[in-house]
């Protein structure tokens, strides 16, 4: 599936998605507070800035609940009808919906992010720079402990299917392992292009008082979706299509028991979303 990393959104968005599907509505109702705490770690913000972060994250969760959760619910309902013959179509449809969700969420944050950036001090920009450098150092240390690329990806697939209450058989694991070998190892390139993107991001922040700051920053934020050179983009898109093919291929060969197990888990996700939407409608 798509593995794009968005500097100002991805972790928060993934948290929301995982909270509604795994931890249920209790954590979701506190999502704005968790998101705000995440953003507040980037620098030593003033009380006024913290209040603005609280406001933006609360508005985002409300927007996400009203606009995106119903779409996610619809996709999940479609997936409860998944079987051997329609797996490829439904997985592709779910993937495209996921792409749209990320793009819409990214655009939602743009204006707020730009306006908030104008309130930053030079010291805070330096703190944000240091924060990203610390993240990069930790990520680099983590990479050194990782297994080979293919082994790590296989491990992630197995864990992903397990979260769907879908235990892979020996032959299915072998199928995943064989196809994963076709993936392009883009880890080092992705890290390199991300670091370059962050460097430019900090430069733009330092020029936040320039007349064209808003336009330049929004263009840079949007450029992350097309990170890297032509070869990297081709490899990324190839990996996306291969990943979709692997997932749909496993479902196409799944037993009735496996599909029923996945369906039951998806239904629990739908139940959580129904509860969230119901609670919001009562507010």
- CA dihedral angle for residue 270, residue 271, residue 277, residue 281, rounded to 10 degrees: 150
Cβ atoms within 10 A of the Cβ of 239, count? 20
φ, ψ of residue 168 in degrees (nearest 5): -70, 140
Indicate the angle between helix axes 213-223 and 87-117, nearest 10 degrees: 150
Domain ranges of the chain: 10-282
pLDDT at 104: 86
Enter the tokens of residue 277.
């939407």
Cβ atoms within 10 A of the Cβ of 19, count? 20
* Cα 37-41-47 angle, rounded to 5 deg: 70
- 158 vs 176: CA distance, rounded Å: 9
Enter the tokens of residue 170.
């020996």
* 3-class DSSP state of 72: helix
Cβ atoms within 10 A of the Cβ of 143, count? 12
- 110 vs 88: CA distance, rounded Å: 34
* Cα 148-136-215 angle, rounded to 5 deg: 120
pLDDT at 266: 87
* 3-class DSSP state of 42: coil
pLDDT at 18: 47
- 112 vs 280: CA distance, rounded Å: 24
- 202 vs 5: CA distance, rounded Å: 17
SS (H, E, C) 201-262: HHHHHHCCCCCCHHHHHHHHHHHHHHCCCHHHHHHHHHHHHHHHHHHHHHHHCCCHHHHHHH
pLDDT mean values, one per 10 residues, the chain (283 residues):
36 42 54 78 94 91 87 89 89 83 84 93 95 86 75 87 89 93 89 91 95 94 86 91 90 92 88 83 63
Enter the tokens of residue 134.
């610390």
pLDDT at 50: 94
Give which of 39, 250, 213, 13 is closest to 108, Cα–Cα: 13
pLDDT at 257: 94
pLDDT at 5: 34
């Amino acid at each position: 599936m798509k593995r794009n990393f968005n500097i100002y959104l991805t972790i928060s968005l993934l948290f929301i998605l995982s909270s509604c599907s795994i931890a249920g509505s209790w954590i979701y109702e506190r999502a704005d507070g968790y998101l705000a705490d995440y953003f507040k770690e980037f620098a030593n913000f003033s009380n006024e800035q913290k209040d603005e972060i609280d406001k933006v994250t609360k508005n985002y969760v409300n927007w996400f609940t009203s606009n995106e959760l119903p779409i996610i619910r619809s996709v999940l309902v479609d997936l409860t009808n998944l079987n051997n013959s329609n797996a490829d179509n439904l997985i592709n449809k779910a993937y495209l919906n996921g792409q749209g969700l990320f793009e819409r969420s990214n655009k939602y944050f743009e204006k707020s992010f730009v306006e908030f950036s104008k309130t930053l001090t030079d010291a805070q920009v330096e703190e944000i720079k240091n924060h990203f450098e610390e993240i990069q150092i930790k990520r680099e240390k983590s990479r050194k402990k990782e297994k080979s690329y293919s082994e790590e990806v296989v491990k992630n697939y197995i864990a992903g299917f397990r979260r769907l209450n879908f235990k892979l058989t020996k032959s299915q694991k072998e199928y995943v392992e064989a196809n994963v070998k076709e993936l392009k190892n883009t880890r080092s390139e992705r890290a390199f292009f991300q670091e370059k993107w962050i460097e430019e991001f900090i430069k733009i922040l330092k020029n936040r008082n320039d007349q064209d700051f808003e336009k330049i920053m929004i263009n840079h934020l949007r450029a992350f979706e097309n990170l890297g050179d032509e070869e990297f983009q081709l490899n990324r898109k190839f990996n996306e299509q291969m990943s979709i093919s692997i997932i749909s291929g496993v479902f196409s060969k799944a037993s009735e028991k496996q599909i029923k197990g996945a369906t039951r888990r998806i239904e629990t996700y739908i139940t959580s979303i129904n509860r969230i939407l119901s609670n919001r409608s009562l507010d």
